[in-house]
Each structure stands twice: as structure tokens, then as C-alpha cells.
Amino acid sequence: MTEAAGWRERVEDTALLWGLVGVVVILSVLPLARLLFEGIAPDGHVSTAALARVLGSSTTWVATRHSLVTAFGGTLVAVVIGSVVALVVALTDIRGRNAFVFCFVLPLMIAPQVVALAWLQLFGPSSTVLKMIGMAPAMGSRNPLYSAEGIVVLLGVQYAPLVFLTLRAGLRTMPQELIEAGLAAGASPMKIVRTIVLPLMTPPLVAGVALCFVSCLGNFGIPAFLGIPGNYLVLPTLIYQRLAGLGPSVLSEVAVLSVLIGAIAVAGIWLQDLMLRRRDFRITTTSSVMRPFELARWRLPVESALWLLTIVVLVLPLVALVLTSLVPAVGVPLTATSATLANYEYVMFEHAAAKRAFVNSFGMSATAAVVIVLLAVPLAYFLVWRRSRLLRVLNLVAEMPYALPGVVLAIAAILVFLKPLPLLGISIYNTIWIILFCYFARFLVLGLRPVISGYYQLDRTLEEAAQVAGARLLRRLRTVILPLIAPAATAGALLIFLTAFNELTVSALLWSSGTETLGVTVFSFQQGGDSTYAAALASLTVAVTIALMLSTLLASARLAQGVLPWRG
Amino acid sequence: MARLTIDRVTKQFGEFRALDDVSIEVRDGEFMAILGASGCGKTTLLRQIAGFDKLDAGRIVIGETVVSSTALHVPPERRRIGIVFQSYALWPHMTVAENVAYGLTVAGVKGAERERRVAAALSLVELNGFAERRPAALSGGQRQRVALARCLVTEPSLVLLDEPLANLDVHLRAAMEDEFARFHARSGTTMVYITHDQAEAMALADRIAVMDCGKLLQVATPSRLYREPADEKVARFIGEGMVVPVDVQVVEPGGTCMVELFGSRMRMRCSPSQTPATDAHACLRGSDLRIVDASTPGIAVSVVRAIYQGGFFRLETRVDQTPGLLLHLTAPEPFELAANTALRVQVADGWVIPAAAKG
């Protein structure tokens, strides 16, 4: 061996690392940088015309106010529900915990537009459920959900699981001694929750609040279904309406709007950081997990309250959705004779766009899941086992497209791909590839997180043993690491598939004839007044989602705690 | 088979110097133990030899090939070494045979040749019937042997063992110690054995390198390490040696000298290059201390503590002349003990610790 000893190994390492860095930069940095550039220099010339036009328009500020009102309101509702439920589930001895967690987290996995559609079917004059019990409001009266309050409640219901999940993850790391020390000092359980648990849980709670706020802010499905009919526009729906109505000519303006909503989101995240930096929340002891508080005679009432919550926020809306999908036309009461499967038949076999949407959504979600996981396994290898400053930055960069509202990424992608690709001369605008690009960018972090946690559970000597046996990096990844990381990678793939499958925000802005997704098709049906078709299609996506979530529970024993959010 | 040269190797982690100018020469076919408490740098040294980390100064040579220097770093996959990890690091998704065959597959060995060599490696560790089992279905000792077979199948020039017995229970350890010793005799491979257990190192190794705080203290055969520790740290660490102040008065030819110890004169072993010195130190062993009656010359001590250890007592005593100094020795049963019992102790043997090299 000479000076060149090991050059193949070095080349392989370096090529793989820089290849991955390149991919992440193209997925994350390029679109966002392009968007910022458009904000400063529309069409390549520095100009404040678009900026002035947008910022000078009252519509912008009305939508901004609406966005802030609904995001704060939704966050408040979500934090109240989510944190109470998290404390009860994590700290007390309620029964049926796993089943409850599954049901409680379900709204997070179902598409927001489906949640909105389901709730719309529950209330309002044409509600099949209310008609069945004879309580439907008079025809022509307004659905009470078409309002700011409606949006706030639904955002709260949709994202309460986010607060729940972050808080529960924190509670799981809380050492039992801290509580026992409180009990030994004579404090009651309620006092312990107030004076020990909640103060220590500030970081996860604040993180959950920030996550929830950003999610509410970026949500498109709920304000689209509930706000557009009543002309209550928030920033994402304003962007959608501008772009759908006027096309790419308004790109510079919507770019400014996107930057605006992105800035609000970043402010939220920054505020979170600021709040947590001022105090030291580190827990100094580590030990076994907590033993739950005994609820004793309160157990049954608490359990009943939890399940009542489940019925109200999950079961009733879904039942309403399914019932609507079974009536022949909007407003027709559901009876044994009027019930029909014709809506399902129509969306599955007759309606061309709906049929395409199945193929598109399945295909793109599966592709995104597989490709992202194949990227995530080597990427996480470098992130976990070859820590460096570059890689820490890369990790943050990979989070951005998911942390920022979906419309931001969609507009950025349009800006990048509106013109044909350099060198190749082909344009992917108006093809499924632009949607797929956004899926890769946006959901990369969903695959990355479980894979990273998988690496942390893996004994590195397993890789080192392969290395001294002479295996180079790619072979080690293929023969040793991939098989061992497979459970975590599968969980990541499933999260990506489910999220992409139920996605609307990105595709609503990027779809064209032939590239419809299921989310877009449900949205189109509902906008066209075909609620029964929308309900049938939505019911099908819910069924697929629940079936996939249930199937993962069978294999979840091999996964780290917290990888699958719906696991108890 | 190859010799291993570790030449003035230094490794720095931020402010912390994990390896400080360490040089060890391991001969071809030698069984070298690297002994030290946790945090002494022995694992860092192993990772340097294996090539997992780059060094900051010095060089490492395996056979005739420089594998690590500040200018060059041969990656672990090219070093042709074998490692038995403390955790064994058997791949749980492969069978025993697949685990053992991995290195051959990587090297491009195929078909019947590969099968033959896997079978040979498995029979070397007496695991012939276990080829199709998964690691999870094996006992600790069997896993250990699979790890050994896996690292030997490619006939590495050098085998590193990282505390391979640390995860086994006591009775299995003794059996595996025998196995390693026999195995080393049979294969003749150069082995570097990392351990914190001096009994293990003494039982197995041709020579032992003692490390502390990233520095190499002494490299010597087990008996020499025990009888002639190079400095106070080694003296205290190996075999619970006691370090006492002595006044070296006359150095005799043949490696002995007359010293004064706590006021009484006696003969001790010393280095031939020892010179008379009033501030020297000697290493005493508990087994060389004997209780004698008051009429015999000896050192006056009083008992601080007596610990019953089954069949004998371990006595911890304070030297009357130098109350800060504790001596320990064993006393056979029965032993009558009262508080502050005064005893007279005779020292049968001792080793004058060479003065630290100046400079």
C-alpha cells in the first residue's frame, strides 16, 4: 500500500456524502432561496412594485389577521385538549390506553380537508345525521361551521394530537423520583402536576405549541372548506385563490404572500426558541418510567370523559361522512331504501379524474416513501455517526420545507420549475414531477426522524465489525445497516405514505388536468357541490389510512417507543 | 501474522489528551495485553490500531506497512485485521455461518472454498453444529466463539480483542481464558488484548502494557511487572502493591541492595543501575509480610481493620513510625484481634522502584 492507500474508500465516502448534501440542498435550499429572491427581485429585476402592491392591499392584511386569529385560536383549543389528554394518559391508570391513543391521534393522520368535510356533514341543513334524528336546521340556513369559530374549532381538533404527542414524549422521560420526592414531601397529585410536572414539561409544551401554531397557520384544507364559502380568507387560501384565478402572472405577488406567511411561521419558531433559552430545564436524574397515579373512584368518570371526547371529535363526524356518502343526493334523507353505494361506484369506476387521482396519489405517495427512505438511511448514517458542523446545518436545512407552511414550498417550486430545466430543456411544471419534488422536499424529515432514532438504538460496533471485515461503506449500508434499520425505515415510509396520501396543500396549487390527487379531487367535488361524491372518496381515504395504521401495530414491537405516533 | 509497531502515538480530543506519546512494539505472534482502568486510553489505542480514528502524532505500522501517520490513514477495511468486540457485534439478521462468511464474501471468496473455510473456522472454535443458528439462539460463550471464528476466518495478520470476557459470568470467563490461550498457541496469530482485569491479563499474555491517563507506564512480562514495577503507579496498580519510603544505603552487585525501612535494615531487590538514595521508594507485597513475635526485629504496626475473607484475615495496619502509611497483610485463622492490637511485622522481600527518569 502506498500514499494512495484507501483512496477508493475515501472517494466512496466523500461522493456519497456530497451527493446527499447536494440532494438536500436542491430539495430544501434551492426552492426557498428562489422564493426569497422573487420577493426582492420579481422576474429578476430588483423592484418593490409587487411588494408595495401586496403590502398596500387591504386584502393582504385582512387575510393576515384572519390567519393569526385562526392560528392562535386553533392553537389554544389544541393546547387545552392536547395537554389535558396527555397528562391524563401519561400520568394516570386509565384502562384501554392504546385504543384511546389510536383514536385520539387519528385526526392528525386523516387529511384536514376530510376532517372539514366530515364536520360539515355533521352540522348544517343537509346533515344526514341530523335529518335522521329530525333535528336538521331549515334548508337554506347557514352551516354554523362556515365561520372563523368553525375554523378555530376544527384546527384545534386536528392538531390537539400534536400537542399531545410532544407532551407525552416529554412525560415519558420524566423520572419517577421527581414525583415520588413530591409525594414524600406531602404534596397531593394535583399539586405535583402543577408544581413539578408542568414546570418541567415546559420545553415539550412550548415545542408543541410552536409546532401547533405553525401547522394551524399553514393549514389549507380546513380554511378552504370552511372559509372560502363564507369569503373568510386566510393567507394560504388567499394565495390559492389568486393563483387559481389569475395563473402564473400573479406569481410575484403570491411569492410576497408566501414570504409573509413564512415569516410569521419563523417568528413562531423563533419565539419558542427564545422562551426556552431563558431557563434551565435540564432534568438531572434518569431512572425508570413513572408509575401512574391511581384515579380510584374517578377512574370511570375520567375514562368516560375521554371516550366521550373521542365520540364527539372523531366518531360522530366520521359517521356523518359515511352516511352522506350513502345517500343518492345532497339533502335526501337516508333510509333503508334510499341507501346506495352508487357514489362509491361513481368515484371508483366512472369519474375519470377520480380514477386518475387514485393512481396518482397511490403512486406518488409510494414513490415518495421509498425514495425518501433510501435517501434517509445513508443521510442519517452521516448525521448520527459522522457528526460535524456541516451535517448539523444539513439536518436543520432538511427540516425547513416541513416546518414552513406547505403553500410556501408549493409557490417556491412553481418559481423554480416554471421555466424549463436548464441544460435538459424540459419543463416539469404542470406534471406530476413537480408535485413529487415537493413531496420529496416536504416529507424528507418525516422519513429522516424515525431512521435517526433507529440509528441511535443501533450498536455501532455492528458496522465496525463489517468494516474490519473489509466491507466498504456502500456494502456495509446494504448488507448490515439497511437490514438492521429496516423496522424504523418502514415506519418512516409509512408516515410519509400516509401524509402524502392525505395531502392537499401542495397539490392544490400544483395540480393540472391529469395530475389530480385524491385531496384535490375531494376538494373539487365539494366545491362543485357534489358533497356525496366528496364524502364517498373521503371515506375511502379514511378507510385506507386506518387500515394501514392498524397493520403497523402488528409489527410495532420491533420499533422504538414514539416512532409510530398512534401507538399507545 | 505480523508485528505491530505503535510509535509515539498521540491522540487529542479537544483539551483532553487521550493518548500521550505511546510506543509499544508487539512481536510477531505475541499475545500482548493492554491493561488499565477505564478511561486510561486503552480503547482509544485499540481504535487507533483498527483505524476507526485518525491519530494526531506518531505512526502505527502493521507488518511492514505504515497504516496510520499524520500524513496517511489506511481505512479499517484495508487493514486486514480482526476484532472481537466487547459486545461481540454479531449481526442479528444473519446466521452463524453467514456471520463467519461475511469477510470472505467481501474479499470475493466464493462457493466451495468459502464453505470449506467457514466450516474450518467453526470447527476451530468447536461450533460445527451451529452454522444455521441465529446469534440470538446462542449462549454468551457461544456468541463469543462465533465472534472469534468470524475474525479469524480471513486469516488476519493481527487480532484485536476488546475486553472480550467482560460480558461473561465468572465461571465462563475461566473456560474462555483457557480457550483463548489454547487458541493463541494453535493459530500463532499476533494478538492485542484490551482489558481492565489484571488477573486475566496475567493469565493470558506474553507481555502486558500498563496504561494510565493516556500514558504507557510499563511493558513487561506478567512476572516482571509484578516483581519489578517500573514506577509507583504500576506498583500500586498491579497486585495491590504497597509503596513505602526507603533509604538505599549500599548497592550490591547482582541486583540487590541494603536499605533502611522504618528504621530497620534489610536486603531488597533493585535495578542494577540503582544508586544509593535517601528518598527512594520500594514496592512491598502483602504476601511478603509476616507477623513475628516481639523479640524478632521488625516493623511495629497497629491493626486498623481486620476483614475476614474465608480461611484467613486481611489485616490493614498502620505503621507506628509513619501513621499515615497503611500496610496490609494476611493472617491465618484463628487470629485473636483486640482494638488497636500492636503487631510486629517482618518484611521478607521488596523491590526498590527505580527513580523516575529525569528530563
Lowest mean pLDDT among A105-114, A139-148, B124-133, B331-340: B331-340
- The more confident residue out of A135 and B188 is B188
Q: How far apart are CA B51 and CA B75, in angstroms?
A: 6
Q: Mean pLDDT, to the nearest integer, of A525-532?
A: 88
Q: How far apart are CA A199 and CA A538, in angstroms?
A: 41
| Pick from A5, A464, A471: CB nearest B52 | A464
Chain centre distance of CA A4: 48
Q: How many CB atoms lie within 10 A of CB B231?
A: 20
Phi, psi torsion values for A115, nearest 5 degrees:
-60, -45
CB B331 within 8 A of CB B221: no
Please tell me the predicted confidence (pLDDT) of residue B118.
94
Q: Would you call A216 helix, strand, or coil by DSSP? A: helix
Q: How many CB atoms lie within 10 A of CB B186?
A: 9
Q: How many CB atoms lie within 10 A of CB B128?
A: 10
Please tell me the predicted confidence (pLDDT) of residue B39.
84
CB A380 within 8 A of CB A453: no
CB B49 within 8 A of CB B42: no
Sheet holding B289-292, edge to edge: B289-292, B342-347, B299-308, B312-319, B326-332
Q: How far apart are CA B198 and CA B283, in angstroms?
A: 17
Phi, psi torsion values for B62, nearest 5 degrees:
-110, 125
| Pick from B65, B93, B106: CB nearest A475 | B106
pLDDT band of residue A279 (cuts 50, 70, 90) is low
Distances (CA, A) of A341 to A128, A381, A502, A531: 15, 49, 23, 14
Q: How far apart are CA A254 and CA A239, in angstroms?
A: 6
Q: How far apart are CA A370 and CA B262, in angstroms?
A: 79
Chain centre distance of CA A208: 13
- Cβ separation of B76 and A464 shorter than 8 Å? yes
Please tell me the predicted confidence (pLDDT) of residue A391.
84
The pairing of beta strand B158-162 with beta strand B81-84: parallel
Among chain A residues, the shortest Cα distance to B156 is held by A469
Q: Would you call A324 helix, strand, or coil by DSSP? A: helix
CA angle A421, A424, A427 (to 5 degrees): 40
Phi, psi torsion values for B230, nearest 5 degrees:
-80, -30
Q: Mean pLDDT, to the nearest integer, of A361-368?
A: 95
Question: B77 CA to chain A: closest CA distance, Å?
Answer: 4
Q: Mean pLDDT, to the nearest integer, of A333-353?
A: 85
| Pick from B50, B73, B150: CB nearest A6 | B73
User: Above 60 in pLDDT, residue A429?
Assistant: yes
Residues of B in contact with A6 (CB under 8 A): 73-75, 78
Q: How far apart are CA A13 and CA A18, in angstroms?
A: 9
Please tell me the predicted confidence (pLDDT) of residue A8.
83
- The more confident residue out of A279 and A358 is A358
* pLDDT 10s digits, B133-164: 999 899 888 898 899 889 888 888 899 999 88
Cell 455461518 appears where?
B97
DSSP secondary structure letter of residue A172: H
Collect all residues with Cβ–Cβ distance below 8 Å to A481 and sequence separation of at least 6. Answer: A377, A381, A458, A463
Please tell me the predicted confidence (pLDDT) of residue A125.
76
- Cβ separation of A468 and B82 shorter than 8 Å? yes
User: Above 80 in pLDDT, residue A463?
Assistant: yes
Please spell the DSSP secondary structure of A19-52, one letter per residue. HHHHHHIIIIIHHHHHHHHHHHSGGGS--SHHHH
CA angle A6, A9, A11 (to 5 degrees): 105
Please tell me the predicted confidence (pLDDT) of residue A396.
83
- Cβ separation of B85 and A466 shorter than 8 Å? no
The pairing of beta strand B342-347 with beta strand B289-292: antiparallel
- Cβ separation of A5 and B50 shorter than 8 Å? no
- Cβ separation of A471 and B74 shorter than 8 Å? no
Phi, psi torsion values for A480, nearest 5 degrees:
-115, -50
Nearest to A497 by CA among A365, A360, A370: A365
Please spell the DSSP secondary structure of A85-102, one letter per residue. HHHHHHHB--S-HHHHHH
pLDDT band of residue A3 (cuts 50, 70, 90) is very low
DSSP secondary structure letter of residue B135: G
Residue B311 burial (CB < 10 Å; 0-12/13-18/19+)?
exposed
Q: How far apart are CA A255 and CA A37, in angstroms?
A: 9
Nearest to A157 by CA among A197, A123, A106: A106
pLDDT band of residue A1 (cuts 50, 70, 90) is very low
Q: How many CB atoms lie within 10 A of CB A219?
A: 30
Among chain B residues, the shortest Cα distance to A12 is held by B75
- Cβ separation of B93 and A468 shorter than 8 Å? no
Please tell me the predicted confidence (pLDDT) of residue B341.
79
Please tell me the predicted confidence (pLDDT) of residue A84.
93
Lowest mean pLDDT among A26-35, A177-186, A260-269: A177-186
Phi, psi torsion values for B154, nearest 5 degrees:
-90, 10
Please tell me the predicted confidence (pLDDT) of residue B359.
37
Collect all residues with Cβ–Cβ distance below 8 Å to A240 and sequence separation of at least 6. Answer: A220, A224, A407, A508, A509
Residues of A in contact with B65 (CB under 8 A): 1
Please tell me the predicted confidence (pLDDT) of residue A290.
60
Query: How many A/B residue pairs have CB atoms within 8 Å?
Result: 78
Nearest to A504 by CA among A206, A139, A77, A219: A219
Q: In the beta sheet, which residues pair with residue B308?
A: B313
Please tell me the predicted confidence (pLDDT) of residue B176.
79
CB B268 within 8 A of CB B351: yes
pTM (2 decimals)? Answer: 0.84
Tens-digit pLDDT string for chain B (359 aa): 589 999 999 999 888 999 999 999 999 999 999 999 988 889 999 999 999 989 999 999 998 899 999 988 999 988 889 999 988 899 999 999 999 999 999 999 999 999 999 999 898 888 889 999 999 899 888 898 899 889 888 888 899 999 888 877 777 788 778 878 887 888 788 999 999 999 999 989 999 999 999 999 999 999 999 999 999 999 999 988 999 999 999 999 888 999 999 888 899 999 988 899 988 999 999 889 988 888 888 888 888 888 888 888 888 899 988 888 889 988 887 777 666 778 889 999 999 999 875 43
Nearest to B94 by CA among A357, A395, A482, A95: A482
- Residues of chain B that touch chain A, judged by Cβ-Cβ distance less than 8 Å: 50, 52, 65, 67, 71-83, 85-87, 89-93, 102-103, 106-107, 150-151, 154
| Pick from A10, A462, A467: CB nearest B76 | A467
- Cβ separation of A465 and B150 shorter than 8 Å? yes
Residues of B in contact with A469 (CB under 8 A): 77, 102-103, 106, 150, 154
- Residues of chain A that touch chain B, judged by Cβ-Cβ distance less than 8 Å: 1, 3, 5-6, 9-10, 459, 461-462, 464-472, 475, 479-480, 483-484
Helix axis angle for A251-277 and A406-417, nearest 10°, is 140
The set of long-range contacts for A362-367, using a CB threshold of 8 Å and a minimum separation of 24, is A362/A501, A363/A432, A364/A432, A364/A435, A364/A436, A364/A439, A364/A500, A364/A517, A365/A439, A365/A496, A365/A497, A365/A498, A365/A500, A365/A501, A366/A497, A367/A436, A367/A439
- Cβ separation of A484 and B91 shorter than 8 Å? yes
Which of A468, A473, A477 best probes binding to B when mutated, by most B CB atoms within 10 angstroms?
Answer: A468
Residues of A in contact with B79 (CB under 8 A): 468
Collect all residues with Cβ–Cβ distance below 8 Å to A184 and sequence separation of at least 6. Answer: none
CA angle A465, A466, A469 (to 5 degrees): 90
Question: B84 CA to chain A: closest CA distance, Å?
Answer: 8
Please tell me the predicted confidence (pLDDT) of residue A36.
87
CB A162 within 8 A of CB A215: yes
- Cβ separation of B77 and A10 shorter than 8 Å? no
* pLDDT 10s digits, A298-315: 889 999 999 999 998 888
Nearest to A508 by CA among A112, A50, A66, A64: A112
Q: Which three cell numbers stand for residue A194?
A: 402543577
The amino acid at A473: L
Lowest mean pLDDT among A224-238, A501-515, B345-359: B345-359
